[in-house]
């Protein structure tokens, strides 16, 4: 699939727009339109349901984006969150040094500068006076907000080790070279779980979370053959990690990371104890000793998952383009149409749509040829459509159309909500 076709569909249909579009856009920033925002909400809701609501031993939180500047000294970001970069002397494009082969510009083959450090954290100022004392950062990850509140959450939530804290929120990185559509952005959202364990349980919990996370990607409909788990080589490991794997997706621009799962040992809580002077240990009743918990982290990017879902669902057929989203994530669950914009049909369809809207995301459309209306729903990934036609007025049945097979069956208008529910969620789609 050519990425430019998906980019065009996303803009045309209201999934993703360039940020500040009327001013020519801003590199590395994207806006989600009416359908994009629904898809994003579904992804975040499914993650939260899976990681927090379905477990007794995980709680959520929502930290501020601006934090005390010492947080980033303790975490190691101030000292080491840099990427070496090179500039092309001819075309002036900029690249990460580790992405360049043969010391030649990947765009024009020109000569490159020596690598220079590029600070990835955005700086800003706290308070009215611009000065060194008030320089703070936009967070480059959500995780540190969890670590610094570990003590409060432990005291207040009646949790005991092992337990986790989950968070969804914006993160900012001044990426050298934002590219591949939304894949590498400067402003993005993360969904992070920090799972706190006793120092002996690392391998068992690490394997557990890798399995759980892979299962979730398959559950939301990503094709298994396009997913893999790749372990980091020792030289790739971040300074805090003992072991790390990436969940990767097979994009047209190669296998790329969607989520990192890392054994961070006791690095974070030890560092924050050192820098803040506050005790962040737990007491083990059996041994009578205190210990600093270790952490298994699962850190996923919402925007990368969104891009994955779009790419994975996109299919071109001779007569139509389809987004074959799982009903769990589709931004619109059901389209409702009167065959013609005539009063008895339109009134009935309006009534049906109002009934369905109580349980599903619906879309009502009464203009244009019915075939065109179906194609439009196929292109935005709506799993089914309900059409009111002349037969409806005689026997109170409507057609239910399957996006994937394009087949239609007649179902009773009286039971329309349960018919649509069965179609979407019971797995009993009619003949495929």
Q: Which is nearer to ligand ATP, 304 or 401 (CB)?
A: 304
Report the SS3 class of residue 198. Answer: coil
Q: Is there a contact between 334 and 385 (Cβ–Cβ < 8 Å)? A: yes
Q: Give the chain's largest Cα–Cα span.
A: 78
Measure CA 427 to chain center: 25
Cβ at position 50, least distance to ligand ATP in Å:
17
Of 232, 372, 381, 375, the residue nearest 306 (C-alpha): 381
Cβ at position 4, least distance to ligand ATP in Å:
20
What's the rounded Cα separation, in Å, for the pair 38 and 363? 13
Cβ at position 175, least distance to ligand ATP in Å:
5
Cβ at position 244, least distance to ligand ATP in Å:
8
What residues are paired with 320 via a beta bridge?
Answer: 317
Q: Which is nearer to ligand ATP, 245 or 349 (CB)?
A: 245
Cβ at position 173, least distance to ligand ATP in Å:
5
What residues are paired with 62 via a beta bridge?
Answer: none
Cβ at position 28, least distance to ligand ATP in Å:
8
CA distances from 131 to 73, 125, 134, 173 (A): 18, 8, 6, 22
Q: Which is nearer to ligand ATP, 173 or 294 (CB)?
A: 173
**DSSP state string for 19-87:** TTGGGT--TT-EEE-HHHHHHHHHHHHHHHIIIIIT-TTEEE----SB--HHHHHHTSHHHH-EEEEEE
The residue number whose beta carbon is nearest to ligand ATP equals 301
Q: What is the DSSP letter of 98?
A: G
Cβ at position 260, least distance to ligand ATP in Å:
4
**CA contacts within 13 A on the Cβ side of 299:** 22
Cβ at position 297, least distance to ligand ATP in Å:
9
**CA contacts within 13 A on the Cβ side of 141:** 22
Of 205, 201, 227, the residue nearest 216 (C-alpha): 227
Take residue 162 and report the two structure tokens written for it: 């092992």
Take residue 272 and report the two structure tokens written for it: 């924050």
Q: Residues interacting with ligand ATP, by CB under 6 A?
A: 141, 173, 175, 184-185, 188, 190, 257-260, 299-301, 303-304
């Amino acid at each position: 699939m050519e990425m430019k076709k998906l980019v065009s569909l996303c803009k045309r249909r209201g999934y993703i727009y360039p940020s500040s579009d009327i001013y020519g856009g801003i590199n590395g920033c994207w806006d989600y339109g009416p359908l994009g925002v629904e898809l994003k909400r579904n992804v975040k809701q499914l993650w939260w349901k899976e990681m927090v609501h379905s477990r007794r031993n995980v709680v959520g939180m929502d930290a501020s984006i601006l934090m005390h500047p010492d947080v980033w000294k303790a975490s190691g970001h101030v000292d080491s969150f840099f990427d070496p970069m090179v500039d092309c002397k001819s075309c002036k494009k900029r690249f990460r040094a580790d992405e360049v082969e043969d010391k030649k510009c990947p765009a024009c083959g020109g000569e490159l500068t020596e690598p220079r450090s590029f600070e990835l954290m955005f700086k800003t100022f706290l308070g009215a006076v611009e000065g060194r004392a008030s320089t703070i950062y936009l967070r480059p990850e959500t995780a540190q907000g969890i670590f610094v509140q570990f003590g409060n959450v432990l005291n207040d939530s009646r949790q005991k080790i092992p337990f986790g804290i989950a968070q969804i929120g914006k993160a900012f990185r001044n990426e050298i070279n934002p590219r591949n559509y939304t894949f590498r952005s400067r402003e993005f959202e993360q969904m992070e779980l920090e799972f706190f364990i006793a120092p002996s349980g690392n391998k068992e919990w690490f394997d557990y979370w890798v399995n759980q996370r892979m299962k979730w990607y398959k559950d939301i409909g990503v094709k298994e053959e396009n997913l893999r788990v790749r372990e980091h080589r020792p030289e790739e490991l971040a300074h805090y990690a003992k072991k790390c794997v990436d969940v990767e997706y097979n994009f047209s621009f190669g296998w790329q990371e969607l989520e990192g799962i890392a054994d961070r040992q006791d690095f974070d809580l030890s560092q924050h104890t050192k820098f803040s002077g506050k005790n962040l240990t737990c007491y083990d009743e059996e041994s009578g000793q205190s210990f600093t918990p270790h952490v298994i982290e699962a850190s996923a990017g919402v925007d990368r998952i969104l891009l994955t879902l779009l790419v994975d669902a996109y299919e071109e057929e001779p007569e139509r383009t389809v987004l074959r989203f799982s009903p769990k994530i589709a931004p619109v669950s059901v389209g409702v149409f009167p065959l013609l914009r005539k009063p008895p049909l339109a009134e009935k369809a309006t009534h049906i749509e109002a009934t369905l809207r109580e349980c599903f995301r619906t879309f009502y459309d009464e203009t244009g040829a019915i075939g065109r209306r179906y194609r439009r729903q196929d292109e935005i990934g709506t799993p089914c459509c309900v059409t009111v036609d002349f037969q409806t007025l005689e026997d109170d049945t409507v057609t239910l159309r399957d996006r994937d097979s394009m087949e239609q069956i007649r179902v009773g208008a009286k039971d329309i909500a349960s018919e649509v529910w069965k179609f979407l969620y019971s797995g009993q789609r009619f003949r495929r």
